[in-house]
Amino acid sequence: MSKNFFLRISWVIVGTILMGIGIEIIVSANRGFDSVSTLILGLMNYSTISFGRWSQLLSLLFLLLTFLYKRRMLGIGSIINTLLVGETINQTASVIQSIAFFQNNSYASFSGFCIMALGTAIYLSGGLGSGPLEGMMFCICELFKISLQKGRVLLDLVIVAFGILLGSTFGVGTLFAIFLLGPMIQGCLSFIKFLKATTCFREKKKQLSE
């Protein structure tokens, strides 16, 4: 396998771990959650399954639905993301929950969303397949013939609605996740592309000067 492939795998792993850490911070901050976390917290009212394990189960379900409808969007990165986000949450929960700053704190909630957005952008930059939620988003956009932004908002609204029906809570962070998380991810993606382009330009310039 090429050096470039291993570099892309590294991007996927680092991005996925950051996503898991960001999600756990958001949950600990308790100021409203991203859509999937809202659904998971609702499901936990009716089961003894841990948050991280529910994350993996739902991701597998989303991955299966995407595979049946738009399988070309998936890749090895999709599987890594599906399993590693939940495992990261399981492994970091006790540490994050023991830090006072992350408990019931609006600033912590915002930092969690920033970390989650950055992690998602880094993961997607690897180009090894869409994540489970992103795959569902593309399926909805194609099915209803709507833009990516509208598709993401629609998907998040539906997932949040199910979570609330199951007894989960709704807060300002939930609105933030529905309407602003997508643009944050897009902004991080643009910044990463700019850094890559700048690095590539410098390397070519160096090669030409040698």
What confidence score (pLDDT) does residue 44 get? 95
DSSP state of 100: G
Helix, strand, coil percentages, rounded to 5, for the chain: 85, 0, 15
State the Cα–Cα distance between residues 90 and 94, nearest whole angstrom.
Answer: 8
The mean per-residue pLDDT over the stretch 79-92 comes to 92
What confidence score (pLDDT) does residue 181 get? 85
Global pTM reads: 0.87
What confidence score (pLDDT) does residue 208 get? 57
CB 44 within 8 A of CB 167: no
Kindly indicate the confidence band of residue 2, based on its pLDDT and cuts at 50, 70 and 90: low
Decide which of 126 and 207 is more confident.
126
SS3 state of residue 210: coil
205: pLDDT strictly greater than 80: no
- Taking only the tens place, the pLDDT of each residue in 132-167 is 888 888 888 888 888 877 888 899 999 999 999 999
Q: Count the neighbouring beta carbons within 10 Å of the beta carbon of residue 120.
A: 26
Q: Which residues contact 67 (CB under 8 A, 6 or more apart)?
A: 74
The mean per-residue pLDDT over the stretch 10-17 comes to 94
Kindly indicate the confidence band of residue 186, based on its pLDDT and cuts at 50, 70 and 90: confident
State the Cα–Cα distance between residues 151 and 67, nearest whole angstrom.
Answer: 18
- Taking only the tens place, the pLDDT of each residue in 28-48 is 999 999 999 999 999 999 999
State the Cα–Cα distance between residues 170 and 161, nearest whole angstrom.
Answer: 10
The token duo for 197 is 């382009």
